[in-house]
A = this chain, B = another copy of it.
Amino acid sequence: MSGQTTYIGMLGCGTVGQSVYQILNGNRDFFLRKMESDIRIKSICVRDLKKDRGIDAKLFTTDYKQVICDPEITIVVELMGDCPDALDAIRLALSRGNSVVTANKAIVARHALELFKLAEENNCELLFEASVAGGIPILRSIREGLAANHIQSLYGIINGTSNYILTKMTKENAEFDDVLSEAQKLGYAEADPASDIEGEDAAYKLSILAMLCHGKYIKVEDIFCKGISYIKPLDIKMAARFGYVIKLLGISKLQKDSFEARVHPTMIPTSNPLAHVHGAFNAIQYHADYAGEGMLYGLGAGGHPTASAVVSDLVELNRNIQSENEINLAPSGFLPKTLEVTKPSDILKLKTCYYIRFSVLDRPNVLAKITAILGKNKISIQNLYQHGEKEDEAIPLIVFTHLTLENDIRLALKEIDDMDFITQMTKIIRIEDD
């Protein structure tokens, strides 16, 4: 190893960027115990030069191209967030042979194939540990630690905001809207929470995880995605009564004749380790053919955990740059040319158990009509629970089904929801119980 310094350019300097700076600058001696060479941030592109970030102002510029085109800079850290220039910046850096570390899940999920190719052609690397589950070293673990395994399935609590909300709703028997407003006040949820609570954020992460697990590239749009805003305290209570907990899961399953990739609220047994992942914590559970069942748990967001992931990528890149080593690790663990561009199976083909919440008027014969339609559609009932009793008023009717085809559920609900005794659209929660 040469003992030289590796110079880094950083694009963006919000909480993550400031943490990255803190780690690298505050721990020089520590890193020199790990590598013979030093990593230094040479310049940082920011929008507002005057904002005080506790960092020497001489490092700042507003021109990202200037950072990338500095010939001394060999690694570009892209932390621009939703900025429209982020993708162009990554493209420019890779095309100039600069390795890139990014935390941008949307860009990785949408442009992985193009960017992997660009990195390969220009003999540099694209690393993105920070794009999924922040401080949890999950990408590295799947790509390298579990390299021997076919990953058969993966279940992830990969959105901290929605897990925080569901946990609060569970502990306090509170309504979704109330918990969301409180979370927004406390800074646990964004002013515009749609991406977190409607599952989009989780879908981006799931698409990246599925690529590393199965060597399959899927478009985020092709992932079935349902958020948590329709969940009621009653659903949580009914789940508990039957031994379940409700979590927003990203699920990826590879079976002989199907490949499932879906994000939705899910009932899992309380005996499942994921059931004990509370608050803003994330966790990813996997089933691998040799390693068996496993789970990684930790903080999925925030400046410090995300910076921990960014710097782990920097340490790896720095070692290889200083050794002038040939790049031999594919960014997804699978050689880019072997990545299969594919679509997950249609959600209508899903076969699982369902929780169904009907909202019905409490009239004679309602139960007979509903069960008849369910039966006609091959839906067999495991448990049925009628909540309360107020003649001719709306009450919830809860059904747990045996294994059922999603298509049959949809057909049955379409018919049932047209009935005059139905007061609200029927809701379902899928159950994972194996």
Known contacts A30-B150, A290-B307; 19 further A-B pairs (Cβ under 8 A)? A1-B326, A19-B290, A33-B215, A33-B334, A137-B145, A137-B291, A140-B144, A144-B312, A144-B315, A144-B316, A145-B312, A146-B312, A147-B316, A148-B307, A148-B310, A293-B298, A295-B295, A323-B328, A325-B326
Question: A308 touches which one: B288, B308, B330 (CB < 8 A)?
Answer: B288
A1-35 vs B: 1/0 string, CB under 8 Å?
A: 10000000000000000010001000100100111
Of A134, A147, A312, most B-chain CB atoms within 10 Å: A147
Residue A123 at the B interface, CB < 8 A?
A: no
Q: Does A265 contact B (CB under 8 A)?
A: no
Quick one: CB contact mask for A291-311 with B, threshold 8 Å, 1 for yes? Answer: 111111111001011011111
Bound form: Cα–Cα A315–B311 in Å: 24
> Chain B contacts of A113 at CB under 8 A?
none
Interface centre among A33, A135, A291, A329 (most CB of B within 10 A): A291
Per-residue 0/1 for A255-296: is the Cβ within 8 Å of any B Cβ (1 yes, 0 no)? Answer: 000000000000000000100110000000000111111111
Q: Decide if A136 touches B319 in the complex (CB within 8 Å).
A: no
User: Digit string of A143-178 for contact with B (CB within 8 Å is 1, else 0)?
Assistant: 011111110000000000000000000000000000
Contact of B323 with A304 in the complex, beta carbons under 8 Å: no
- Which residues of the other chain, B, contact A273 by a CB distance below 8 angstroms? 273, 276-277, 297
Bound-complex Cα distance A308 to B142 (A): 12
**Interface code A32-45, partner B: CB below 8 Å = 1, 0 otherwise?**
01111000000000
Rounded to whole Å, the gap between the CB of A209 and the closest CB of chain B is 15
Once the chains are docked, how many angstroms separate the CA of A335 from the CA of B216?
37
Interface contact A299-B305, CB-CB below 8 Å? no
Q: Are A291 and B298 in contact (CB under 8 A)?
A: yes
Please give the number of chain A residues whose Cβ is less than 8 angstroms from any Cβ of chain B in the complex.
64
Q: How many copies does the complex hold?
A: 2
Question: Do residues A328 and B326 form an inter-chain contact, with CB atoms below 8 A?
Answer: no
With both beta carbons as reference points, the residue of chain B lying nearest to A33 in the complex is identified as B338
Q: A332-365 toward B: CB 8 Å interface, digit per residue (1/0)?
A: 0111001000000000000000000000000000
CB atoms of B23 and A290 under 8 A apart: yes
Task: Let me know if A330 and B145 touch, CB within 8 A.
Answer: no
Measured between alpha carbons, how far is A295 from B30 in the docked complex, in Å?
Answer: 23
A168 to chain B, nearest CB (A): 16
Assess whether A324 is interfacial by the CB under 8 Å rule: yes
Residues of B within 8 A of A198 (CB): none
Q: Does A383 contact B (CB under 8 A)?
A: no
Residues of B with C-beta under 8 A to A319: 328-329
Contact residues in B for A371 (Cβ distance below 8 Å): none
Bound CA–CA A131/B298 (angstroms) = 24
Chain A to chain B contacts (Cβ below 8 Å), 15 pairs: A33-B334, A36-B335, A135-B290, A136-B291, A136-B294, A137-B146, A140-B145, A141-B296, A145-B312, A148-B307, A148-B310, A273-B273, A273-B297, A291-B309, A294-B297
Within 8 Å of chain B (Cβ to Cβ): is A235?
no
Q: Which 3 A-B pairs have the closest CB atoms?
A: A137-B145, A294-B298, A148-B311
B34 in contact with A330 (CB, 8 Å): yes
Residues in chain B near residue A144, CB distance under 8 A: 137, 140, 144, 312, 315-316
With both beta carbons as reference points, the residue of chain B lying nearest to A140 in the complex is identified as B145
